[in-house]
Amino acid sequence: MKNDIKLILAKTAKIIDSVVLKILCSSVYRKHHKIIKHQIEIGGKRLRPVLAILSCRMMGGATKDALYPAAALEILHNYTLIVDDIIDHSDFRRGQPTVCKKYGRSIAESISISYAASIFDIADKRGNVQKCYPVFAKTLKMMADGEIFDILFEQGGRDDEKYIVKNRYRQISLNDYFGMIGKKTAGLTGACAEVGGVCANASAKEIKLLKSFGYNLGMAFQIQDDILDIFGDEKKFGKKIGKDIEERKLGNITILLAMDEFSLKDKKRFLNILRKKKISGKDIKEGIGLIKKTSAQSDAYKLEMNYIKKAKQSLANLPKNKWNDILNELTDYLVERRV
């Protein structure tokens, strides 16, 4: 690669984090700053604000034009992670205790409200900030919709939540899956590139291409995340392998592709695992073993690369400059986040 993508991510993260923390701590009691900061301080690639800033630069804007909207997008992302961890009863994220685990559910819910408010706490900043607000609102609603689908795709658990038990999907199609990740994951990456274009006063046609680029990149990113959840190296991935099985999720591309290939016996056994009252480490290992007998990994990778191709096609129709090159290299870098 011509550019050091890791260095670009690290430098942008440093700039973004200072702005994010400034926004988050604004109007918050000083003693509460520590608990407000925890979610940000446990780390992250800061991919989403990087997409916004690089997209802005590619379209002729300056970093300062997109800085606060990019920070708002990172806050939006982390807001959804806090809520996601509450919903999934997750104890760890990136090897650190989640907000819910460290401070308790009540505090985590209060902090999530503060994050939600902070997304829009950039009104007095320069540039096209107010033009970004409809994008923030639409994206947040879309992600909530995706989260509902993700929960309803689970095959067990939450027995005390009658609506979920009654409306749970007993089977889902690939279209159902793509619709869910399109809302929950790709909608945000699409919004990040879109916001970069808005901040740079790009044309409607260019903004549409930017949104398409970010959306398809997000689809590929989530597919790869699903692959790594089953086939990844726990130390390299930074997450527990088989977590989707543990959480009874049918909305994982490798699981869905494997289900189509399973024998009736294996399909029944796998669904029995997902629908158990309590899933053990032995069950997870067995479920992964069943998936590994299929071609789900290679088939999922082909789908991922198809989305990468679409993302690059959008970039090919946008201004050719060094920022376009960096976005192309960033796309390759994310694909190389291999097992």
Q: Which of 84, 54, 83, 67 is nearest to 23 (CA)?
A: 67
pLDDT for residue 100: 97
Please, is 29 exposed, middle or buried when counting C-beta atoms within 10 Å of its C-beta (0-12, 13-18, 19+)?
exposed
Enumerate residue ranges in the chain where pLDDT < 70. Answer: 1, 123-126, 236-238, 337-339
d(CA 243, CA 223): 15
Q: What is the 3-state secondary structure (H, E, C) of 246-279?
A: HCCECCCHHHHHHHHHCCHHHHHHHHHHHCCCCC
d(CA 109, CA 85): 11
pLDDT for residue 237: 63
Reported pTM: 0.94
HSE toward the beta carbon, residue 213, CA cutoff 13 A: 30
Domains and CATH numbers, the chain: 5-221+315-321 (1.10.600.10)
pLDDT for residue 238: 62
pLDDT for residue 339: 43
